[in-house]
Amino acid sequence: MALRNLDRSFGFLLHDVSRLLRIEYNRRVRHLGLTRSQWRVIAHLSRNEGATQTELADILEIESATLARLLDRLETSGWLERRPAPNDRRANHLYLTDKPAAIIDEMFAISAGLQKDTLAGLPAAERERLIDTLLGIKRNLLDMTTPATAPGEPERERRAATGA
């Protein structure tokens, strides 16, 4: 079997870049006092308020039971609230409280700063081309994995993911 240059492998490179972005983002938000799992829940819930626990678990790609423990801690700390679903006694819709508003803004500001630092040295046109290329790749992958709306996937998340 021929040796492959993993440094130029699309999948390995994308994974490495993603991992390094997470590590640096974690370092930059550490002072907020949230765990990585908690800020992921808050960030995704800020984009999908009103989602059910099952929908949010699908978005985060974690087990519902794992998410339930995170939600319990965030609810106890006053970060979010559960509201009963009007048509399903077993389901709750999830909403952020006012508490995370300032932190969400800071999280996204930190993210924007990290993006700026990460793309430093690339001309503006090349940065835009990179983002467009990644969006195209994402659309291709979504087309492969979600021919329509997958069961349990909120329509608004699918639209947001595809830019529709």
What pLDDT, on a 0 to 100 scale, did the predictor assign at position 157? 55
Closest CA to 23 of 114, 120, 100, 112: 114
What pLDDT, on a 0 to 100 scale, did the predictor assign at position 147? 61
pTM: 0.70
What pLDDT, on a 0 to 100 scale, did the predictor assign at position 158? 52
Tens-binned pLDDT, residue by residue, of the chain (164 aa) = 455 788 889 999 999 999 999 999 989 998 988 888 898 999 999 999 999 999 999 999 899 999 999 999 999 999 999 999 888 888 899 999 999 988 888 988 999 999 999 999 999 999 999 999 999 999 999 899 876 655 555 555 555 555 54
What pLDDT, on a 0 to 100 scale, did the predictor assign at position 2? 53
What pLDDT, on a 0 to 100 scale, did the predictor assign at position 153? 56
What pLDDT, on a 0 to 100 scale, did the predictor assign at position 1? 46
Cβ 57 vs Cβ 67: under 8 Å: yes
